[in-house]
Amino acid sequence: MMPALAHGDRLVVVRAGSPLVGDLVALHDPDEPSRLLVKRVVAVLPAGLEVRGDNQVASRDSRSFGLVAPSAVIGRAVYRYFPPTRVGLLGQFGSGRGTLMQDGPAPEGYRPTPGT
């Protein structure tokens, strides 16, 4: 699978709602808490969330550090605002919305709604 994110992407992360399978979530690296990770939720289990990177060959994820407590998730990544050529909403992989709702400039006059 092609990674949804590239080095240098800047994201809007919201703290609303519980993560669903397919969501991109931001969390602190369990072994290096000052480092932020953005991973995709692949399973929501009673014991926690299983997260994986889209580039699984080079990803540090639940295969390395195990399940993640939902309380450890900072929020869901919902919008890429930089670089300008990749601005757009991020959706759930495997949902009807696709990984990227839009890959390119934001529509004329678009303003993200706070809290979504």
Omega of the bond prior to 114 within 30 degrees of 0, cis? no
* Stretch (H or E) spanning 81: strand 73-82
Tens of pLDDT along the chain (116 residues)?
A: 456 777 788 888 888 778 889 888 999 888 888 888 999 999 999 999 999 987 778 788 999 999 999 888 999 988 888 888 888 887 655 433 333 333 344 445 545 444 43
Report in angstroms the alpha-carbon separations of 14 from 18, 27, 56, 76: 11, 12, 25, 5
Task: Go through the domains of the chain in sequence order and give each one's CATH number.
Answer: 10-89 (2.10.109.10)
**Main-chain dihedrals φ then ψ at residue 14, nearest 5 degrees:** -115, 150
